[in-house]
Structure 1
């Protein structure tokens, strides 16, 4: 059940005073003139878009009225329609006043003033459900606009930074940025008293019409700034963010689970800022020293491969005659031959294979066999084809790279199929351009890393169905590479940018979804604590008392919820709480039906979800039962009312969610103040682990073992409460997965069923190369490679 304000009510007027450009006497004349120019330039376009949006909103409301399923619903829609028509003349002026105020606050404290930006939901109050929905809707609108116009906002951030005499201003704090424009939208429409549902309809029209025109607005403002000689030669080179979060490295050798958990917690706890990120992020730029070190990597890899071949030949040397005959009779394929054959293979679908009764994806070894078979058409006199030594090393290294990536990929998964399709294009790049091995910023290397990591953490996380939109986007990117790559690596760069943009949008959505779950968890905790106090107050009064069964049910069910809600809203020291406790005492005592008691009961029941007729019927039955003291307590009407009370959805229960939490075996909606069934006490190691868990920062990533094969899924500890012991875990997409107790988490860590995910500082591809080098050095007897 959700609690919302009445449709016609709005929040109290707490609007802060708006500033004007003219009131900023500290602005230099040139800055004031430029800001006034921006205001004049944007004013006409914003006013026109607002008018169109309100007109479209009226049309949408009229359509809703036509489709209304009842006269009451239709009446409510028409009331909203009349309200929009009444107040629409005030919306555009209010919006422009707010817009001018954001311009006038240029250079002030970077943290937005109260009411100047969208709230971040520090705490969830059940009475503010409408605020939460509005916040989320506006955040999503702003996030989409920021992604869509990131280049223009980048330029505007630098130019407004010049006006403010500060570094470049980020999009969130930019006066003309989507976040501030959405805050202005909320301010401007506060004068329209409509229901939450109809307000969201209005926001959607603003998103479709006003926000869609931001590109034209931003272009006009940038042109105006250039005309006024503000960073006329600014180069729009956006830094590209890493597409996907880093994952955990290879599983460490087996050791004592408790010791392993101790070590991982000691490693994670001192770095809250790192743990708070989805597992880790690679820096946007590498030191020049990194590329210098990497330039030696390909040579090192070839030397190690040569050493391995020498060991293999020593173990099983071919006869001299056989080796000489093979050398004399074979034909070494040229680079042109290889590219021609691989280009043909690139156009063909990568066929699956059956090995040991299982369907597997094509490997590089299989691709090599296909390559040699196709090369026969280029060999003179039927001589067998052979790869040059460097080409053979390249193919083997690419094969080892894909084999390493496949270890962390689920067989027959969507990401495994995508990686298989990239085999030929990546091999063609590596054969032609050895900087693929030595340059971390190589476009093909970065795209391969992005596909692998995105598949691992966003698609193959073992949490139900994959995000079809993301799978389709990745499929489109990979298919374009396969269809269009002809040797120009710029295509990889273009596809990486396209995927990065899409991942940025998903990351924003995940952040909003996670924040919503955290706020809901905080709200449930506050409700649980309030209900616990209400249950205690009612239980104390009912102890040892024999009263009417219907009255007892009412007090233990509905009236307990009324008291809990009152504690949430006004607190236990409020007059409202004292009045409602007094009602409980009256019902337990004399049960006199005074008008003020009847009114208090009806109002309280209405606040916890009882309709007016229901509440009145309850009151009538309640006092008829009280007046019939000593009579039989089993009339059908009272029994029916008691059953209705017990079946009624309790305050804060989510009727749409019945998922059982792994830790407790209870449904989330009925856990109440109980976090878990009675469990054996923690042992010494588990108690010590519990204390360490309490020190972990929000945002720490865990790996939970799913089966006896050791397969694990990654989950983010988004929030926990030291009061109730409840922990909230989400996946990469921000969706809630588990709600377990801190005690259960401590047990799992000690038993090895959970572990803190390693915070990786390198990309998946970088880790792969170091692992490959380490393996080759072990084979050839060299010392392991030190991490770069």
Structure 2
């Protein structure tokens, strides 16, 4: 990193403060994304636990959803804790017992701190050798800074303390705490090996650690070591794009095996067709990266056409461009070829971008934005295929943020247009600035994430409005159903048409309003029902023609209630009294023609809109469905993501935003918080059986796209 060998005299060492800052930058870069990787495995464990127990983990799920909604805050807080460790190292704020914060804690927090202590012990045990070496080197670094030896800023205790401080006020349920710690330990295992190896190598190359007796140590895969290096220390001469975590390496190997099986069934690509009989050498990594860098700022039109389906496969378009770029740099395609690793990277990038457009509602104006990113992502994949398996990879997180901003975004509002414009600016910056340093992706993601936080707040407000509007319509429909039930009972006998018209229109409207405002069984509700019964009695009395005085007294007694009922329908006092006069006139003649009255027909545009959104005839639980699938649908929780195909076959990412306490129907919204579907469990079951609904979609767009990609490859394998 700095060019000095460990044997270099201390006087010619690089500035120790700069060495410490470089370690700090490296630690924040590798550890900063750890909190984002906690939620998916915890959610999976909660889901499996609820299936085994036969009951939902609603409290834990709700708490986890709240953590996810505030994930950016926790990431920033965690990064600050990591950075603070280095500030403490320099300012000598030494903490006892390996950096775990010591203070009086509430009883409900005691288990949290004990779990942190156990985590620190586990890290110390697992990484004892590199931690011991690092501690000795940091002591020498502190001596160079004319400081007393301090605690390791990325030691076991410090990492456990950073987690505790980050989630101190998160109000985690008791059963959720151990799951979060376990996920944190697993996420740390993904990066600590690489981090400790690189920090030790960096300190060694800067001249710290001379004479440290450690015995033989395993050589990290991404470091080339000379014999002299082995006698003294590890010097990172040249990093190679390998993954150190065995689990990640195994996942990449499995992905490549599936890719090879899929490729055997596909037509040969152009590079294979032009191979001929002459042997060709493989392009070296630096050569292919130079070619990609040459092409990076050029027009992405060929990739845009491929993403639109008009220009063939995207991977083939990438190979054609790379072959043309190689020719321009003097590498003849007749004498050179891509290595197997490079070929795999190209196919995976092509399939990933195509999968994003197949899995999400990305509109036409987004294609150029994504097309511009193709070549930078090819460069990333060439050097680090962890892009395809590491959820916390900076380039992958940026792709998630861009997709979240662009999906279903037709730029209808000023805020949506700002998102699109910011994504376009971010893509242009990646093209201009990316030169094998992933920090460019991190900075671009941080910038876009800040804007997305504001967007998510608007989405939450939009979801709340959609839920309230849906609940309001359901209450209205329920009130109308109750009113029509009462009318059906009233209309079982012949009545005067004017009485029937009054009951089916102003009186029904008044009854619905009292149900909505005052509720069933309220005083106003009972008074409205009594008015309807009194009018029926009056009609029966008029039909008998025996006692006109009694009928007149009855109508006079009902006058105020009838006028009030008519007024609630929007009539002024004069019109209401005119309506009353017409009703009295009709009842004045015993021989008025009477007969059965038709029930009113609802003209509910909102309900019709719901039926159109549901895309199912009837929209009720009477449709054919699998009861077991419907039971699975009833276990859906707010915040869960699904994939839905609309009638045109367009894939949509939808979220369960709300479950009606009245009907049990599910409100599904898109990433903009707009209502997509309101349906019952039976209707969702029917959609799932027809292949138009997929439960358990990934929250992160790239995760879902990779799952779609793996499914495609697995079918071939």
Q: TM-score, normalised by structure 2?
A: 0.52
Correspondence 1:575-590 to 2 at 5 A: 575-588=523-536, 589=538, 590=551
2:323 matched residue in structure 1: 372
Query: Cα distance 1:468–1:436, how it changes in 2: closer, same or farther (>3 A)?
Result: same
Task: Confirm or deny: 8 A CA contact 1:151 1:236 kept in the other structure.
Answer: no
Q: How many residues align?
A: 482
Give the alignment partner of residue 553 of structure 1, picking from 501, 507, 515.
501
2:597 corresponds to 1:621: no
**CA offsets 1:287-319 (integer angstroms, 9 cap, x no match):** 23445235535984899699989999xx9xx9x
1:493 to 438, 442, 460: 442
Aligned to 2:294: 344
CA separation of 1:420/1:347 partners in 2, compared to 1, >3 Å: closer, same or farther? Answer: same
Aligned to 1:729: 668
Whether the 8 Å contact between 1:339 and 1:428 is mirrored in structure 2 is: yes
Contact map agreement 2:252 2:386 (CA 8 A) in 1: no
> How far is 1:478 from its partner?
1.4
Provide Cα deviations, 1:167-211, integer angstroms capped at 9, x if missing partner: 999xxxxxxxxxxxxxxxxxxxxxxxxxxxxxxxxxxxxxxxxxx
**Aligned match of 2:371:** 420
Q: Following TM superposition, by how much is the alpha carbon of 1:622 offset from its aligned partner in structure 2, in angstroms? A: 1.7
Question: Could you tell me how far 1:447 is from its partner in structure 2?
Answer: 1.9
What is the CA–CA distance in structure 2 between the aligned matches of 1:513 and 1:415, rounded to whole Å?
23
Deviations 1:608-647 (A, max 9, x none): 5x15x2x54123332344046446999xxxxxxxxxxx99
3-state DSSP class of the match of 1:359? coil
Q: Find 1:400's aligned residue among 348, 352, 359.
A: 348
Question: Matched residue of 2:301: which SS?
Answer: coil
Which of 505-514 and 353-362 deviates more?
353-362
Cα shift readout 1:454-474 (whole Å, capped 9, x = no counterpart) = 65xx3389x9xx955543332
Asked if 2 retains the 8 angstrom alpha-carbon contact of 1:342 and 1:371, the reply is yes
Distance 1:607 1:470, change over 3 A: farther
Residue number among 477, 493, 500 corresponding to 1:544 in the alignment: 493
Deviations 1:342-364 (A, max 9, x none): 33322111123778996237724
Pairing of 1:77-476 with structure 2 (within 5 A): 287-291=187-191, 292-294=245-247, 296-297=249-250, 300=253, 326-327=279-280, 337-352=287-302, 359-360=310-311, 363-379=314-330, 386=336, 389=339, 393-410=341-358, 413-431=364-382, 436=387, 440-451=391-402, 458-459=407-408, 468-476=417-425
C-alpha contact 1:700 1:756 (8 A) present in aligned 2? no
Judged with a 3 Å threshold, the aligned counterparts in structure 2 of structure 1 residues 237 and 492 are, in CA distance, closer, same or farther, namely farther
Q: CA deviation at 1:450?
A: 4.0
Counterpart of 1:379 in 2: which secondary structure? coil
Q: Secondary structure at the match of 1:526?
A: helix
Indicate whether 1:519 and 2:519 are aligned.
Answer: no
CA 1:383 to 1:539, structure 2 compared with 1: closer, same or farther past 3 Å?
Answer: closer
Matching of residues 699-710 of structure 1 within 5 Å: 699-706=639-646
CA contact (8 A) 2:623 2:683 kept: no
- The whole-number CA distance in structure 2 between the counterparts of 1:620 and 1:737 is 46
How much has 1:413 moved relative to structure 2? 4.2
Aligned equivalents of 1:477, 1:624: Cα separation in 2: 71
How many angstroms apart in 2 are the aligned matches of 1:357 and 1:443? Answer: 26
Contact kept in structure 1, 2:638 and 2:658, CA below 8 Å: yes
The SS at the match of 2:495 is coil
Instruction: Check conservation: 2:307, 2:367, Cα contact below 8 A.
Output: no
SS at match of 1:352: helix
CA distance in 2, matches of 1:153, 1:333: 41
- Cα distance change on mapping 1:478 and 1:724 into 2, 3 Å: same
What CA distance in whole angstroms lies between the structure 1 residues aligned with 2:691 and 2:258? 38
- Decide whether the 8 Å contact of 2:380 with 2:436 is kept in 1: yes
Residue 691 of structure 1 deviates from its aligned partner by 5.1
3-state SS of the aligned residue for 2:696? Answer: coil
Structure 2 spans left out of the alignment, 5+ residues? 1-68, 82-100, 110-160, 168-174, 177-181, 192-244, 539-550, 593-599
Aligned partner of 1:479 in structure 2 is 428
1:558/1:165 CA distance change after superposition, 3 Å: farther
TM-score relative to the length of structure 1:
0.48
| Secondary structure of 1:504 counterpart | helix
> Please, which runs of 5 or more residues in structure 1 have no aligned partner?
1-143, 170-233, 241-272, 275-281, 635-645, 667-673, 780-788
- Per-residue deviation, 1:729: 3.1
Residue 756 of structure 1 and its aligned partner are, at CA, apart by 3.9
Contact kept in structure 2, 1:661 and 1:738, CA below 8 Å: no
Is the CA contact 2:306–2:314 (under 8 Å) kept in the aligned structure 1? no
Preserved contact between residue 602 and residue 616 of structure 1 (Cα < 8 Å): no
Structure 1 residues 507 and 239 mapped into 2: Cα distance closer, same or farther (>3 Å)?
A: farther
- Change beyond 3 A, Cα 1:421–1:593: farther
* 1:503 partnered with 2:452: yes
If asked which structure has higher relative contact order (CA below 8 Å, sep 6+), I would say: 1
What does the per-residue CA deviation read over 1:473-501, in whole Å, with 9 as the maximum and x for residues that have no partner? 32232122123323432221011112223
What is the Cα deviation at residue 235 of structure 1? 9.9
Question: How far apart are 1:733 and its partner, in Å?
Answer: 2.5
Compared CA separation, residues 166 and 595, structure 1 to 2 (3 A)? farther
C-alpha displacement of 1:755: 3.9
Listed as ranges, the matches of 1:577-616 within 5 Å are 577-588=525-536, 589=538, 590=551, 597-607=558-568, 610=570, 613=572, 615-616=573-574
- Give the match for residue 180 of structure 1: none
Give the distance between the partners of 2:483 and 2:261, measured in 1 at CA.
74
Deviation at 1:711, TM superposition (A): 5.6
d(CA) in 1 for partners of 2:534 and 2:694? 55
CA distance in 2, matches of 1:732, 1:434: 29
Match in the other structure for 2:478: 529
CA–CA distance in structure 2, aligned partners of residues 288 and 602 of structure 1: 74
Which structure's CA Rg is the greater one?
A: 2
Match in the other structure for 1:215: none
Describe the shift of the 1:356–1:388 C-alpha distance in structure 2 as closer, same or farther (beyond 3 A): closer
Instruction: State the distance in 2 between where 1:239 and 1:387 align.
Output: 49
SS in 1 for 2:300: coil
- Check 1:306–1:155 CA distance in 2 against 1; reply closer, same or farther (3 A cut): closer
* Cα separation, partners in 2 of 1:545 and 1:696, compared to 1, 3 Å: same
